[in-house]
Structure 1
Amino acid sequence: MKYQLENHGGEFDYRSRSHNGWIIKENIHDYSEILYCEKGEGIAIINGQRIHLKENHFIWIPPNYVHRFDFPDGVVICAVFSKDFVPLFFKEQKGRNLVVKPLCADNINSIFKNLPHLKKDDHCLICAHLNLILHEVIKNSAFEDIPKSDGVLYQKIISYISNHYTEDISLGKIARMFGYNEKYLSHTLHHLTGIHFRQFLTSYRINYAKTLLINEPDSDMTTIALNCGFSATNTFYRAFRESVGMTPTEYKKGRLT
């Protein structure tokens, strides 16, 4: 699984880019995300749900939703941002799940086209854009209650992995720690997210690796691999290429130039 530099608790952290043809494997992070299809069409899979996203439509993805995108011929705009930009969303959510569905952007398409051009330190303008989009989301979407047992379990696992993914952890170890049967935990996690535990864990490690590649450019690959929780450099390289579609070195070069 994959994505940029999320998962690290930034305050008023925002980034947005336009992509001409975009395929991204399963990933998860603790930021909110917006995907707008400017031209063409493609497929988004959110927590195992397949969504056909057509031109001039968008989806709003809350934190810690597993998602993947397949837009080989489409032009999309993606924005990723920390929770403090949209506190009203979390007030409205009230511990429930947003039912993610494609929404028409006819009334606000100019807002989406501005997203990649906003300066990261212009917090007021970013807030204005995101909350105009949020208004459409809340007006046209539904929230559903989470079964208490599933919600509690999911939050336990999310919290533990997000705090310990750099360590030597396993599904069996987590199951024993929280008093669950390992097979039950594996099945439930897959049911809730659409992916398996190992993919889930690797996603957090790859996201952190991306942060280190950019923020610690003098660190060697072995150090980065070990600091992210990978047992060996070749395992790190293989997982990174499978997730991102390029080597860590290629990713670093592309982001720093």
Structure 2
Amino acid sequence: MSYYELPAEGRGYYLFEHRILGDARAHFHSAVEFVFVESGRAEAIVDGESRLLSAGQACFSDSFRVHFYREAAQASVYVFVGDKSCFEEFFREQGDRAFPKFFAFSDFPFLEKLHSLCTARGRYVSATLRGAAEMLLGRLAESVPLESRRRDGNAELVCKVLRYAQSRSAEDLSLAALSREFGYSREHLSRILGRYLSEGWNGYVNRLRARRAEEMLSERPGENVLKIAYECGFESPNTFYRAYRREFGKSPRRSN
């Protein structure tokens, strides 16, 4: 999964799944995202705020809000990701208010029916998903109190840093380099990034590079592994192999 999810950027993008949640690394996108926990437990972190969700609880990630999930006990969930334009008009009509990050919602018969409509194959599935977004919005608005949207400068900074890191993953991404680029102290960046990502910055960068290395290994199967590792920004074989194994649970394939 990309940390800046480009597929969730396009106008008209929708996704509606009923599945086991699993772990999801910190990411963000322009689309809004809902997760409804049907059973089990999962930790949801949105803009650095954490909540342990159980059955009948949900979370909402507004457009360009950093969020991720950790499964605490096998969690069966409904996940809805939708084009922000479908929701923005309604939020503006409500005085720029939106759903809270965490709320209670347990109408699973409604979600099951809505999901079954969206999984039916047809020529106009995108129109069906758009209609599902409208129905979900209406159902939630009936039962979930809205709250004023607050500008979060820290969240905006984190998104800028993550976008920058993804586009320059092979370059110098040390806190010192970020400090020069964004004009904040290394200490401030370390504190904010640690809060929003729930991990150290070096670990995040190594995972980002490990994923890029995996993509390049798939694209160039005959290439030397370490050559690709260095191209991705790793400075030592040990750091690369350690990061790769941590991310994928195995060693990268070696060329003959």
With the shorter chain as reference, the TM-score category is 0.5 to 0.7
Deviations 1:218-238 (A, max 9, x none): 533837656654456764554
Kindly indicate whether residue 28 of structure 2 is the aligned counterpart of residue 29 of structure 1. Answer: yes
Residues 239 and 14 of structure 1: CA distance in aligned 2, closer, same or farther (over 3 Å) = farther
Kindly indicate whether residue 170 of structure 2 is the aligned counterpart of residue 172 of structure 1. Answer: no
Instruction: Return the letter of the residue paired with 1:133.
Output: L
RMSD (Å), alpha carbons: 4.1
Deviations 1:129-152 (A, max 9, x none): 23332344556242442355x355
Structure 1 equivalent of residue 133 of structure 2: 130
Residues 40 and 189 of structure 1: CA distance in aligned 2, closer, same or farther (over 3 Å) = closer
CA distance in 1, matches of 2:104, 2:131: 19
Matched-pair identity in %? 19
CA distance in 2, matches of 1:37, 1:136: 17
Q: Is the 8 A contact 2:34 2:60 kept in 1?
A: yes
Instruction: Return the letter of the residue paired with 1:186.
Output: S
Q: Is the 8 A contact 1:118 1:125 kept in 2?
A: no
Correspondence for 1:163 among 153, 162, 167: 167
Q: What TM-score do you get using the length of structure 1 for normalisation?
A: 0.67
Rg larger for: 2
Following superposition of structure 1 onto structure 2, how do residues 1-257 of structure 1 map, counting pairs within 5 Å?
3=1, 7-9=5-7, 11=10, 12-20=12-20, 22-24=21-23, 26-30=25-29, 31-62=31-62, 63-80=64-81, 85-90=83-88, 92=91, 99-106=100-107, 108-111=110-113, 113-114=115-116, 117=119, 122-137=125-140, 140=144, 141-146=146-151, 148=153, 150=154, 153-202=157-206, 204-205=208-209, 212=215, 217-220=218-221, 222=225, 225=229, 229-231=233-235, 235-236=239-240, 238-243=242-247
Gaps of 5+ in 2: none
CA distance in 2, matches of 1:165, 1:116: 37
CA distance in 2, matches of 1:111, 1:247: 43
Structure 1 residue 101: Cα displacement? 0.3
CA distance in 2, matches of 1:38, 1:136: 17
Q: Is the 8 A contact 1:202 1:239 kept in 2?
A: yes
Q: Is the 8 A contact 2:118 2:128 kept in 1?
A: no
Residues 73 and 189 of structure 1: CA distance in aligned 2, closer, same or farther (over 3 Å) = closer
CA distance in 2, matches of 1:115, 1:228: 43
Q: Is the 8 A contact 2:169 2:208 kept in 1?
A: yes
Deviations 1:7-60 (A, max 9, x none): 22553444554434x431542132543322233333323334332323244322
The DSSP-based 3-state class of the residue aligned with 1:145 is coil
